[in-house]
Amino acid sequence: MRVSEELIAGIRSALPGLELSENEPMSAHCSFRIGGPARLMCCPKTAAEAAALLKLLAERGAPFELMGNGTNLLVPDEGLDKVVVRLGEAMSAAELLGEGRIRAGAGITLAKLAVFAANEGLSGLEFAHGIPGSLGGAVFMNAGAYGGEMKDVLESVEYAETDGAVRSVPAAELGLSYRHSAFEGTERLVTAATVRLTPKEPEEIRARMRELLEKRRASQPLDMPSAGSTFKRPAGGFAAALIDEAGLKGFAIGGAQVSEKHAGFVINRGGATFGDVLRLMEHIQKTVFDRSGIRLEPEVRTLKD
């Protein structure tokens, strides 16, 4: 056991107000509906609490993972003998800063943030309304859709570090590019972000959000568990088109299936295991590579023990 009783007792005593639960099923927190228990899940309520937790975990050499809304994650069926630090509702307050700027906690969903912006007559987050992740996850991934991406609207980002500090960084220093930010490969937890938007009539903003949601509903299997696009867009092509052309639409391994509606999505058609999804992803990569010479790179992030 890497997450020992002693570690859990230490966290409880050092951070008595911290919300935590032991052996928390990850499938309940991941949109794929796959994943066994996390030995310990902690949900900080403030950036200071999050920073203190990260410091404690680092000092004790405890293995940990960061997560938001779990909409881009694949977790093993055996679970994780790790501490999962999850940001959600408790860190989701949004406030207007003036000059078209909104600062929000990293746990807010993009849908809620986009609606908040629309109600304030601020445009720029319409693209993000239908992306089911949290603001923190969207910063981490530089999430994007329909020609927009977080890079276009982010002004600055606040994050907690394993030295116990909370720092702020201008978005321009985050190396934001297609589904990438400088947070990748670090142990930094995004705790809040400020976006800069442009004034527009709320009804116009809402109309655009409705239009994009309709497009999404028409083209994506939103009624089935998934983690969105399984693979990144390769240079010079589209993953969904390559998978479709390889004749893989509807192809299944166990409970994991290439969506009939959108070949870019692997769905859990019922009872899919971690192994089913991984094997299907490998099969897709191999088949597409053999046919086109293009190697698809996963967009879905696989957590391992």
Ligand X SMILES: Cc1cc2nc3c(=O)[nH]c(=O)nc-3n(C[C@H](O)[C@H](O)[C@H](O)COP(=O)(O)OP(=O)(O)OC[C@H]3O[C@@H](n4cnc5c(N)ncnc54)[C@H](O)[C@@H]3O)c2cc1C
8-state DSSP, 149: E
Contact set for ligand X, span 255-274 (CB under 6 A): none
Residue 134 Cα distances to 72, 114, 250, angstroms = 10, 11, 29
Identity of the residue, 190 or 240, whose beta carbon is nearer to ligand X in the bound complex:
190
The answer to whether residue 106 forms part of the interface with ligand X (CB under 6 A) is yes
Closest separation in Å from C-beta 175 to ligand X: 14
User: Tokens for 102?
Assistant: 């909104």
Closest separation in Å from C-beta 88 to ligand X: 9
Q: Select from 105, 133, 264, 298 the one that contacts ligand X (CB under 6 A).
A: 133
N-term to C-term CA, the chain? 11
Distance CA 96, CA 116 (A): 9
Distance CA 44, CA 53 (A): 8
- Which distant-in-sequence residues (6+ apart) come within 8 Å of 185 by Cβ? none
Contact set for ligand X, span 69-98 (CB under 6 A): 69-73, 87
Tokens 């509606």, residue located: 261
**Residues involved in catalysis:** 179, 229, 299
Closest separation in Å from C-beta 168 to ligand X: 14
The answer to whether residue 138 forms part of the interface with ligand X (CB under 6 A) is yes
Closest separation in Å from C-beta 290 to ligand X: 27
Helix (H, G, I), strand (E, B) or coil at 297: coil
- 164, 52 contact by CB (below 8 A): yes
- 16, 22 contact by CB (below 8 A): no
Site string (37-76) toward ligand X, x via CB under 6 A: -----------------------------xxxxxxxx---
Q: Select from 143, 154, 192, 209 the one that contacts ligand X (CB under 6 A).
A: 143
Sign (positive/negative) of CA torsion 124, 210, 32, 231?
A: negative
With contacts defined by CB under 6 A, how many residues of the chain interact with ligand X? 32
Which residue stretch of 1-9, 226-234, 251-259, 278-286 sits at the interface with ligand X (rule: CB under 6 A)? 226-234
Closest separation in Å from C-beta 87 to ligand X: 5
Contact positions vs ligand X (CB under 6 A): 31, 66-73, 87, 106, 131-134, 136-138, 140-141, 143-145, 183, 189-190, 220, 222, 226-228, 301
